[in-house]
Amino acid sequence: MCLGIPGRIVEIHDTQGLPMGVVDFGGVRREVCLAYVKDEIQPGDYAIVHVGFAISKVDEAEAKRTFEVLREMSQLDELKWMEGLAT
Amino acid sequence: MTIVCPTPVAAIDRVQLGHGSGGKMSAALLRERFLPAFRNDILAQLGDAAIIDVAGQSLAISTDTFVVQPLEFPGGNIGSLAVHGTVNDLGMMGADPRWLSAGFVLEEGLPLEVLDRVVHAMAAAAQEAGVLLVTGDTKVVERGKADGIFINTTGVGVRYADFAPAPPRAQPGDAVIVSGLIGQHGIAIMSAREGLTFESEVMSDSAALTPLVRALRQRVGDGVHTLRDPTRGGLASALNEIAVAAGVGIMLEETMVPVPAPVSAACEMLGFDPLYVANEGVLVAFIAESCADDAVKALRAHPLGRAATQIGRCVREHPGLVALHTGVGGTRVVDMLPGDQLPRIC
Amino acid sequence: MKYLSEYRDPAVARALVTEIKRSATRRWVLMEVCGGQTHTIVKQGLDELLNEAVEMVHGPGCPVCVTPLEQIDKALALASRPDVIFTSFGDMLRVPGSECDLLAVRARGGAVKIVYSPLDALELARKHPDKQVVFFAVGFETTAPANAMAVWRAKQLGVKNFSVLVSHVTVPPAMMALLESPDNRVQGFLAAGHVCTIMGWTEYEPIAAKYKVPIVVTGFEPLDILEGMLLAVRQLEEGRHEVENQYVRSVRRDGNQPAQDLVSQVFELVDRSWRGIGPIPRSGLGVRAEFAEFDAERKFAVDGIRTAEPTICRAGDVLRGVLKPFDCPAFGTLCTPEHPLGAPMVSSEGACAAYYNYGRFRNGAPV
């Protein structure tokens, strides 16, 4: 129910007291409200954006760790999958 | 068991925007309101252009009306679009476009410099496509009645004896080939719409496809069974129409569909599916299996077709239905949308 | 796209599918709460891939589907007023009310505009001071902070012609209502990752404990869903019933505090009726008295509109996961996306529409 996609904070500014920023989503850029992440983020960080608001900072360390676990599992399983294909 | 529901089926007694989006509502409007009134064999073909015979010469005639907002967008304007659209409809029936007419409805208050830009773009597009604008008409309506400019173009093209691609000719085994990257036009338009604006480098791909059609005719000839330019409703709608017209099933490979990264990114943001986003410079071709490689090579030899690739094939199973093998190994149906694709929050 | 494409890796997906099948000693019944998760599952064909190990039951996680008929009718009444520009997220436009939908109202001359963000609606109000701009504030807890900010900002800037029609719902009461239902078959949940990004997961701990169901906070990409399912299956196999977080790159236990704070300032918990399910106490959000001037219901006196929901409607059974869309006799015949009988067929996130559009391919042949 919540289309939230990750984007990279390119620039931060203040619009009449409201923290706003320009976020880059893989080449597409949009103004996003940063009020809910303002103490955590700086340009270069990634955030999850929902309806024009950053709702969380992407925890890159956690993301990397999980992904490595998944990748490892897939390498072990790749062999089994290939065996399965051969039969 | 009776189904009682809080939502009675809404009776539609008026035209809605969805009727113009190229999806199921458009098809229903055509079927229920227009076709019964204008019954004839030529119209019944429902191709991109009508095929008529004049003293032994086969000609194609097509008409299209352009109402795009905004009038000017990254990569073109309503004028260049009006030329490319009709030129391409003729090309999809295998014809060489030769002559165009143009009818303009101008809104009171339209700045003349905008009109100039539109007209110059049309002239440039016509020259590049090798077509002559031979007749036209202009009307002006009161402020508020025409969204700036509406343009209708009608085109006539000349067909070749041995080259007759048509929707019903697609058959099981055919390769489904797309001539370039998809989704660019629709996203370029979206990025300029009020309430949704975003910055992107996506430009409309609006272009005359005549050189690609010529390349296919010369290299593959009768092996070209069907051609279609996937405009409103995108690739998915065009493929559905052909699947139904030819009574074949279509199986696509998700990983083979060429979506450029910025289009993909914009679609993620808006919740759009690139398969349903409009294109104005791409064609999809149904080619006899044995000629598929040649067809791709012929397309790639031209700058407009550099990214040409096979994205699927026609199958005997599930006639009339388009299906897709997903990236992660599942399968799903690619249906026609009822109306416009709506940006979503879910 | 970074932090998106990696979570669609086919090799890893295959590995997860294999692992889920290997771990399940019996077929478990799982529910994903969120419409966005339903969308991914059906669009990628994940439920079909895992059919033997897991039965996926789709929950009421589509705010569009569960928005009560009454709120739609209020929206239609407001949008029909000549002095109003009615703004909304795109997915609300085709949801039918008692007589028609917002698209029909637009066809009849109403000013109805799609916006991407509630701040865009506020901006529209500032640009058109001669009109009243009303924003349809629909959503779960994920969207509440954005809608709250629009209201708070309107007050701060002294904007007089902006108001919101609220139809917010919250997840935990709905989950509990489902679990209390005598015909509940769901054994484990994939909780909504973006709802929990805002709220954290503390509210789910008592639910997991009381009803003895594993709850895995899950993201939205194919690998997220598969990993979430794996974690849920493992818990079920091991007889555990805890709250676990799969969506670690976005969700922390306490959620987003500033967002929660602003939501409590602008909104308060109210009783809310869920379309097809019925009233669930304290399951929705309403505008607080301090911000009453921004509450469209009070401002335009549409709070008197009452619409009765008939007691029999299969949409409710689908939303509660008791009935599969394709088991409904009307599915695909009387009820299709062009002529929807109920909300789950209208919304592209609704289970019925997802199945109609994507899932008609079962066992390799279309249904």
- Please give, rounded to a whole number of angstroms, the shortest distance from the CA of B344 to a CA of chain A: 7
Which one-letter DSSP state was computed for residue C24?
A: -
Exposure string for C197-220, b = 16+ CB within 10 A, e = fewer? bbbbbebbeebbeebebbbbbbbb
Q: What's residue B123's pLDDT?
A: 96
Is C120 within 8 Å of B195 when comparing Cβ atoms?
A: yes
- Please give, rounded to a whole number of angstroms, the shortest distance from the CA of C338 to a CA of chain B: 5
Is C116 within 8 Å of B8 when comparing Cβ atoms?
A: no
Q: State yes or no: pLDDT of B244 exceeds 90.
A: yes
Q: State yes or no: pLDDT of C304 exceeds 80.
A: no
Chains touching A, CB cut-off 8 Å, 3+ pairs: B, C
| Number of CB pairs, chain A paired with chain C, less than 8 A apart | 145
Distance in angstroms (rounded) separating the CA atoms of residues A10 and A31: 10
Neighboring chain C residues of A52 at a CB cutoff of 8 Å: 116-120, 146
Looking at residues B236-245, what average pLDDT do you find?
A: 94
Neighboring chain B residues of C108 at a CB cutoff of 8 Å: 14
Nearest residue in chain C measured CA to CA from A63 = C249
A67 sits in the region (left: phi over 0; alpha: psi -120 to 50; else beta) called: alpha
Q: What's residue B90's pLDDT?
A: 96
Looking at residues B135-161, what average pLDDT do you find?
A: 92
Q: What's residue A80's pLDDT?
A: 59
Is B15's Cβ below 8 Å from some Cβ in C? yes
Q: What's residue C323's pLDDT?
A: 63
DSSP character string of B58-106: EEEEEEEEE--SSSEETTEEHHHHHHHHHHHHHHHTTPEEEEEEEEEEE
> For all residues of chain C together, what is the average pLDDT?
85
Looking at residues B72-85, what average pLDDT do you find?
A: 94
Q: What's residue C320's pLDDT?
A: 57
Q: State yes or no: pLDDT of C81 exceeds 80.
A: yes
User: Count of CB atoms within 10 A of residue A83's CB?
Assistant: 9
Distance in angstroms (rounded) separating the CA atoms of residues C258 and B165: 61
Q: What residues of chain B, 150 to 209, have a C-beta less than 8 Å from chain C?
A: 194-196
Choose the most confident range, by mean pLDDT, from B3-12, B30-39, B250-259, C180-189: B250-259
- Please give, rounded to a whole number of angstroms, the shortest distance from the CA of B270 to a CA of chain A: 8
- DSSP 3-state of B273: coil
Q: State yes or no: pLDDT of B314 exceeds 50.
A: yes
Q: What's residue C367's pLDDT?
A: 45
Nearest to B78 by CA among B147, B21, B23, B156: B147
User: What band does A56 get if pLDDT is binned at 50, 70 and 90?
Assistant: very high
Q: What's residue B4's pLDDT?
A: 27
Give a three-class secondary structure readout of C66-117. HCCHHHHHHHHHHHCCCCEEEEECHHHCCCCCCCCCHHHHHHCCCEEEECCC
Chains touching C, CB cut-off 8 Å, 3+ pairs: A, B
| Tens-digit pLDDT profile for residues C3-58 | 888 888 888 898 999 999 999 999 999 999 888 898 888 888 888 888 889 998 88
Which among B12, B191, B346 is the top mutation candidate for probing chain C, defined by the most C β-carbons within 10 Å of its own β-carbon? B346
Q: Which two tokens stand for residue B275?
A: 């398969």
Nearest to B259 by CA among B346, B212, B327: B327
Q: What's residue C29's pLDDT?
A: 94
Looking at residues A28-54, what average pLDDT do you find?
A: 94
Chains touching B, CB cut-off 8 Å, 3+ pairs: A, C
Q: What's residue C327's pLDDT?
A: 63
Q: What's residue B195's pLDDT?
A: 57
User: What band does C278 get if pLDDT is binned at 50, 70 and 90?
Assistant: confident
- Please give, rounded to a whole number of angstroms, the shortest distance from the CA of A79 to a CA of chain B: 17
Looking at residues B283-300, what average pLDDT do you find?
A: 97
Predicted structure pTM score = 0.83
CA C104 centroid distance within chain: 24
Q: What's residue C339's pLDDT?
A: 56
Looking at residues C142-152, what average pLDDT do you find?
A: 97
Nearest residue in chain C measured CA to CA from A48 = C250
| Tens-digit pLDDT profile for residues C86-129 | 999 887 887 777 778 888 888 788 899 989 899 999 999 999 99
Q: What residues of chain C, 59 to 88, have a C-beta less than 8 Å from chain A?
A: 61-63
Of C19, C149, C250, the CB nearest to A58: C250
Distance in angstroms (rounded) separating the CA atoms of residues B193 and C113: 11
Q: What's residue A3's pLDDT?
A: 85
Is B200's Cβ below 8 Å from some Cβ in A? yes
Query: What is the enclosing helix (H) or strand (E) of A56?
Result: strand A53-57
Is A2 within 8 Å of B271 when comparing Cβ atoms?
A: no
Of B199, B271, B344, the CB nearest to A28: B199
Return the beta strands (E) in chain B as ranges: 50-54, 57-66, 72-73, 76-77, 96-107, 132-141, 149-158, 175-178, 224-228, 249-253, 284-287, 309-315, 322-325, 331-333
| Tens-digit pLDDT profile for residues A16-31 | 999 999 999 888 889 9
Q: At what angle do helices C10-23 and A60-86 cross, to 10 degrees?
A: 80
User: Count of CB atoms within 10 A of residue A13's CB?
Assistant: 11
Of A17, A51, A58, the CB nearest to C249: A58
Is C194 within 8 Å of A1 when comparing Cβ atoms?
A: yes
For residues A48 and A38, is the Cβ–Cβ distance under 8 A? no
Q: Output the CA torsion sign for C64, C65, C69, C73.
A: positive
Q: What's residue C310's pLDDT?
A: 47
Is B1 within 8 Å of C329 when comparing Cβ atoms?
A: yes
| Tens-digit pLDDT profile for residues B114-126 | 999 999 999 999 9
